[in-house]
Amino acid sequence: MPRDTTLRSTFPRLSALAAAPREPRAMLTFDSTLAWSSLLLLAIGLVMVYSASIATAEAMAYTGYRPWYFLARHTVFVSVGLVAAFVSFQIPLKIWQRIAPYLFVGGALLLVAVLVPGIGRAVNGSKRWLSLLVFNLQPSEFMKLFVVLYAASYAVRKADFLHAQQPLRQTLLRGFLPLLAVMILIGALLLREPDFGACVVIVAIAFGILFLGGLDWRLLIGLGFLLPVALWLLIWIAPYRLQRFTGFRDPWADPLGKGYQLSHSLIAFGRGEWFGVGLGASVEKLLYLPEAHTDFLLAVIAEELGFAGVAVVIALFAWLLVRAYAIGRQAARLQRPFAALVAHGIGVWLGVQAFINIGVNMGVLPTKGLTLPLLSFGGSGIVVNCIAIAVLLRVDFENRRLLRGFTV
């Protein structure tokens, strides 16, 4: 059977993407724009984390009142992330596919370990970290990458049971429900921490990959009705989530209470206007805006660099997503469904997380506790984001080798 016929019958949605016109960039020696856009985001993050964290570092005893405390740590995180990215780039996609289930199980065990008394470390009421002496590991960040790899490998292994050509009962029992069961388990572990934001991102990754993997449209319609209901129930049963959900619509109704963080974020955006007040000149970072160097880093960027700075950040993320889509499309054209799903899964992950963080900072989404990928302070997040970009570059690298007649 011809290879294009195999792809069309097994992965119809990937086949539709592959049918798009061939992009001219695919024949270039090296896609420097993907790497440079990622490095530029890391560089902007390094500068802005330092700017946003100076006041906090000078005010906290655990930092030794050293203004460069967070800069030094973030520099280490970025360095470790780049080394991890270099190592990850050397790993062929066939190896990632082979170890994906083991990584997923290992990630799930780490999520369990976080909840064990005496092992997990609590910060601000959330148990999301494992203390490893010199740094804290956040398993939920690594789980995002593991879900991308596992869901892609699952969709490839179960391709025959995901499509409308099969009886609905068989598709439901042998294709959809096994993945749904493990995702419910992972979601339950994340909600126990609690980490609602990571749960939303991981669910988006898993079912985005299932959609591209050709999940029966009848099940997709059912998911379309059930997921919003499930999310609303999760918000409704937890009072603090309900307060966040209702509070973001009018933060000025309680600017000193539940609307405090968002109101100061909006003040930062308002002060920045078109070109900002100048690098380092933010007022909101002076202990007015909580989590200025992590969840609300974009607000400091908006205040200091203005609309122009925010537009540059959004444009860089947009280009990164365009490249993820193009690389995945090229992999689909080359009959590489796992690589295509991984590339698109990474795009879904980074795109959804960036969209949520930007929406939260601008006051159009309720607070989720998600960082801005590649920019915000946080060791686990930075390292796993760098690894994800390296895997994406590896997909592109192998695509180019195949186009030149080499094996991968």
pLDDT at 407: 79
Token readout for 124 is 């601000």
- The answer to whether 375 touches 48, Cβ cutoff 8 Å, is yes
- The predicted-structure confidence for 269-291, as pLDDT tens digits, reads as follows 999 999 999 999 999 999 999 88
Q: State mean pLDDT over 93-119.
A: 94
pLDDT at 212: 84
Q: State mean pLDDT over 242-268.
A: 81
Q: Is residue 329 classed as helix, strand or coil in its secondary structure?
A: helix
Residues in Cβ contact with 30 at an 8 Å cutoff, skipping those fewer than 6 apart? none
- Secondary structure in 3-state letters for 265-285: HHHHHHHHCCCCCCCCCCCCC
* pTM for the model: 0.90
3-class SS shares of the chain: helix, strand, coil, % to 5: 70, 5, 25
Q: How far apart are CA 346 and CA 349, in angstroms?
A: 5
- The helix or strand, by DSSP H or E, that contains position 120, with its residue range, turns out to be strand 120-123
Give the phi and the psi of residue 126 in degrees, each rounded to 5: -115, 135
pLDDT at 1: 42
pLDDT at 6: 59
- The predicted-structure confidence for 150-208, as pLDDT tens digits, reads as follows 999 999 988 777 665 666 666 677 777 888 889 889 988 998 888 888 998 998 998 89
Q: Is pLDDT of 2 > 50?
A: no
- The predicted-structure confidence for 209-223, as pLDDT tens digits, reads as follows 988 887 767 777 777
Give, to the nearest 10 degrees, the angle between helix 196-212 and helix 337-362: 140
Token readout for 168 is 């609905």
Among 310, 319, 327, 221, CA closest to 270: 310
% of the chain residues with pLDDT over 90 = 56
